[in-house]
Amino acid sequence: MAMNAAYLALIDAIPAAHITHIGLVDDTGTELSGGSYARQAVTWAAPASNMVRPSADLTFDVPAGATVAGWHGYSGATGGTDYDGEDLTAEPYSAAGQYTLKAAQTGIASQAVSA
């Protein structure tokens, strides 16, 4: 039995309702810290091609000595629930720098798939 459109729209709204910030993690899954690093607030675009993506690229300050190896979604700017995320190609930073998480390459699989 296929779910009705209202139910599928509700499922697609879950990332926006719960994941309000995105943070970067290292190769052990530990969130980066130090320097000017901070989670970034995220807004979500409407689902398209069975993906829910951020509505804009997110730029993070990365502290010296850190390795960016993934992103996680969180329910707050600090603390909150860690909803996990995706691995990225590891990028080590010997000096402090910036990392831009591209909205077009970041997303959560939408539940509104055809049955």
Sequence spans of domains, the chain: 5-109
Per-residue pLDDT, 6: 55
The verdict on pTM exceeding 0.75 is yes
Q: Please list, in sequence order, all residues whose beta carbon lies within 8 angstroms of the beta carbon of residue 83, skipping any fewer than 6 positions away.
A: 18, 19, 72, 73, 74, 75
* pLDDT at res. 16: 66
Query: What pLDDT shows up at residue 10?
Result: 52
Distance between CA 89 and CA 16 in Å, rounded? 25
Q: What is the pLDDT of residue 61?
A: 98
Kindly give the parts of the chain with pLDDT less than 70: 1-16, 110-115
Query: Cα-Cα-Cα-Cα dihedral of 29, 90, 42, 102, to 10°?
Result: -160
> How far is the C-alpha of 39 from the C-alpha of 64, rounded, in Å?
17
The mean pLDDT value of the chain amounts to: 86
Query: 12 near 18, Cβ under 8 Å?
Result: no
